[in-house]
């Protein structure tokens, strides 16, 4: 059913009403001069107001919705008939408001989707805010939910010295997100939201983005939630390395023998479908250290300290009031799907060789890793892959989340999502990547048992309490720890326990391994393995 509000700046905004919420869809928050341009916040929409009754188009990128549902989450939902792309009109947001509207200004919960900075959209059904917003109202902690689109892949993060010299500074994914957050702060009051009470939460690449916005000198939100991702997991590219990916793109498009001006013109005008067909999806395109949006690379040593570091100034640790951060018990499953699937044969031998090379001066560390994760060169491929995934989980998701919680100078809350994936697939029975967000949005409830639904509801209630400024559980401290654990529902009827530590067995393993070489040393060894060294 169509519904409308009278926005003080935009006039009539027409949306959809149903199931306890009003939704205003596809509202463009920024305009673009071309696919690589810096975004310009949109402030005018014409005298006829805004028609926000339909989902907006996705940005130019490979369509990965079915892959996330069927392969990563291992469960499907009803999909839109198509996900049309748009070069210049993909920067929009979906706003979901409890119905009837509240008489008071409501907290705002903004979601930044994941997808490896390659794929994703606010139109994906697993990210629909309807049920989460409805639940927030039913539990007397109402929030307004907003899902944003931002540029991905080539238009989001392709950069090089040549492009920067031509006036294209790069880091468009993060620039778009910041523009969306500024739009929300400027105009959300007209939708019933409190512009001074915004919580941003992101998952995977969206979580990396959320944490990266803490580098901003301008306050962008009041609270943030990092769900299975930090810049320690996927570090920004050095500026010097961006030319490598740029050259790969240029060669794939047959532009390596033309002038710089011709190359850039072609990059801006080549049809999106041709980009997707010709540019290899293996080209690294992610945020880079530009000295501005991202001032420098993070390290465990820096983020685990509450002191400010000149090497990585992070003003957001002062202007952001509180942090919620957590991980899934088997987040590293994503590595086997995205980076290691083609290396499965004899992967144990390759892993042992790489780890031995990384710790050639500390062979006892390599041996301790093999012993801790039960792997040796002759380990069969299937169990070897699972052991390697667990090591990748611990050093890329678990340890970074703990480090950020330990170093947060304000109030921090740390959680672990240990609910096993209930659906058929190679990772059934493991707490897999993206499962936490799948549960959080409540959109898979019909495919869950009552006990599993209790986990989903508990996680969602904690998130909306946090967005309302309440303490969802006891705050984390470096001395005492403090962990909220979700699942497994098979042995926890209430779905949650409060633990003083941070997962004793996992912490004892990865932290004892780091005693000689540090967590950064273990992280570097993982990167070397992923890169085939």
Q: Chain centroid to CA 361: how far?
A: 36
Considering 304, 320, 336, which residue would you say is the last residue of a domain? Answer: 320
Residue 322 appears among annotated catalytic residues: no
Nearest CA-CA partner of 456 in 430, 481, 480, 422: 422
Residues 304, 429: one domain?
no
Q: pLDDT exceeding 90 applies to what percent of the chain?
A: 88
Digit-coded pLDDT (tens) for 165-190 = 999 999 999 999 999 999 999 999 99
For residues 315 and 347, state if they share a domain.
Answer: no
Handedness of CA 240, 404, 136, 431 (dihedral sign): positive
Predicted pLDDT of residue 2: 78
9 and 78 both lie in a single domain: yes
Assess whether 481 and 424 both reside in one domain.
yes
Q: Are residues 198 and 107 in the same domain?
A: yes
User: Per the residue annotation, which of 136, 204, 304, 322 is the catalytic one?
Assistant: 204
Answer yes or no: do 69 and 122 share one domain: yes
pLDDT digits (tens, 9 = 90+) for 330-384: 999 999 998 898 899 999 999 999 999 999 999 999 999 999 999 999 999 999 9
Judgement on whether residues 182 and 310 belong to the same structural domain of the protein = yes
Last residue of a domain, one of 268, 297, 320: 320
Among residues 320, 344, 373, the one where a domain terminates is 320
**How far is Cα 381 from Cα 378, in angstroms, rounded to an integer?**
9
| Residue from 48, 402, 36 nearest 226 by CA | 402
**Is 260 found in the same domain as 202?**
yes
Confidence class of residue 476 from pLDDT cuts 50, 70 and 90? very high
Q: What is the pLDDT of residue 497?
A: 47
Greater confidence (311 vs 470) lies with 470
Is 358 found in the same domain as 265?
no
pLDDT at 257: 93
User: Any bridge partners for residue 3, and if so which?
Assistant: 15
Report pTM: 0.96
pLDDT at residue 438 tops 90: yes
Domain enclosing residue 511, as ranges: 328-530
- Find, among 122, 151, 139, 108, the residue nearest to 54 by Cα: 122
Check pLDDT > 90 for residue 526: yes
CATH number of the domain at 410, please: 3.40.50.1820
Residue ranges of alpha helices (H) inside 80-228 are 130-138, 153-157, 161-165, 172-187, 205-212
Measured over the CA atoms of residue 114, residue 118, residue 123 and residue 126, the dihedral's sign is negative
Q: What is the pLDDT of residue 493?
A: 44
- Peptide linkage before 124 cis (omega within 30 of 0): no
Q: What is the pLDDT of residues 237-254, one digit of tens each?
A: 999 999 999 999 999 999
Please give the pLDDT value at position 92. Answer: 98
pLDDT at 431: 96
Provide the domain count of the chain. Answer: 2
Six-digit token string for 17: 């009403």
* H-only helix segments in 359-498: 363-372, 381-393, 399-407, 435-440, 450-467
In this structure, the answer to whether residues 344 and 459 fall within a common structural domain is yes
Q: What does the pLDDT look like over 257-309, one tens digit per residue? A: 999 999 999 999 999 999 999 999 889 899 999 999 999 999 999 999 988 88
Residues 155 and 245 in one domain: yes
Residue 23: C-alpha distances to residues 6, 99, 180 (Å): 14, 10, 17
Instruction: Name which residue leads in pLDDT, 56 or 502.
Output: 56
Tell me, what's the pLDDT at 507?
66
The residue-averaged pLDDT of 449-455 equals 95
The answer to whether 401 and 414 are in contact (CB under 8 A) is yes
pLDDT digits (tens, 9 = 90+) for 315-327: 999 999 999 999 9
- Same domain, yes or no, for 111 and 156? yes
The pLDDT assigned to 496 comes to 46
Question: Which of 179, 176, 206 has the alpha carbon at shortest distance from 115?
Answer: 206
Q: For 37-66, write each residue's pLDDT tens digit.
A: 999 999 999 888 999 999 999 999 999 999
């Amino acid at each position: 059913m169509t519904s409308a509000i009278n926005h003080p700046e935009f006039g009539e905004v027409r949306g959809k009403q149903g199931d306890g919420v009003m939704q205003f869809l596809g509202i463009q928050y920024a305009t673009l001069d071309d696919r690589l341009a810096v975004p310009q916040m949109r402030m005018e929409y014409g005298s006829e107001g805004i028609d926000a009754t339909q989902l907006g188009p996705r940005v130019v990128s490979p369509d990965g919705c079915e892959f996330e549902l069927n392969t990563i989450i291992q469960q499907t939902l009803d999909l839109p008939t198509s996900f049309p792309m748009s070069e210049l009109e993909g920067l929009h947001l979906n706003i979901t408001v409890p119905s009837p509207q509240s008489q008071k200004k409501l907290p705002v919960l903004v979601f930044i989707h994941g997808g490896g900075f390659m794929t994703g959209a606010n139109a994906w059904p697993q990210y629909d805010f309807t049920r989460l917003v409805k639940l927030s109202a039913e539990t007397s902690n109402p929030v307004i939910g907003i899902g944003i689109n931002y540029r991905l892949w080539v238009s989001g993060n392709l950069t090089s010295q040549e492009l920067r010299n031509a006036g294209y500074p790069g880091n468009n994914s993060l620039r778009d997100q910041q523009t969306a957050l500024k739009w929300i702060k400027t105009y959300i009051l007209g939708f019933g939201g409190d512009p001074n009470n915004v919580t941003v939460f992101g998952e995977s690449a969206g979580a990396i983005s959320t944490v990266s916005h803490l580098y901003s000198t301008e306050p962008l939100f009041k609270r943030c939630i990092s769900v299975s991702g930090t810049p320690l997991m996927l570090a920004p590219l050095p500026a010097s390395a961006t030319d490598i990916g740029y050259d790969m793109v240029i060669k794939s498009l047959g532009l390596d023998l033309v002038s710089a001006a011709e190359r850039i013109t072609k990059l801006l005008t080549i049809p999106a479908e041709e980009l997707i067909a010709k540019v290899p999806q293996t080209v690294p395109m992610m945020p880079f250290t530009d000295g501005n949006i991202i001032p420098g690379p993070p390290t465990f040593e820096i983020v685990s300290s509450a002191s400010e570091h000149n090497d990585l100034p992070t003003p957001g640790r002062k202007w952001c009031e509180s942090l919620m951060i957590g991980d899934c018990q088997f987040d590293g499953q994503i590595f086997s799907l995205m980076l290691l699937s083609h290396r499965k044969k004899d992967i144990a031998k390759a892993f042992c060789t790489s780890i031995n090379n990384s710790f050639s001066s500390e062979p006892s560390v390599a041996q301790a890793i093999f012993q801790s994760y039960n792997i040796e060169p002759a380990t069969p491929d299937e169990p070897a892959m699972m052991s390697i995934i667990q090591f990748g989980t611990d050093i890329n998701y678990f340890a970074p989340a703990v480090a950020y919680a330990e170093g947060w100078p304000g109030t921090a809350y740390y959680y672990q999502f240990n609910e096993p994936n209930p659906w058929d697939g190679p990772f059934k029975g493991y707490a897999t990547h993206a499962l936490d967000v799948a549960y959080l949005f409540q959109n898979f409830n019909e495919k869950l048992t009552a006990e599993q639904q209790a986990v989903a509801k508990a996680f969602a209630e904690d998130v909306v309490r946090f967005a309302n400024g309440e303490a969802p559980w006891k705050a984390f401290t470096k001395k005492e720890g403090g962990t909220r654990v979700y699942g497994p529902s098979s042995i926890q009827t209430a779905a949650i326990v409060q633990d003083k530590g941070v997962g004793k067995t996992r912490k004892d393993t990865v932290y004892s391994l780091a005693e000689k070489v540090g967590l950064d040393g273990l992280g570097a060894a993982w990167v070397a393995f992923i890169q085939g060294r």
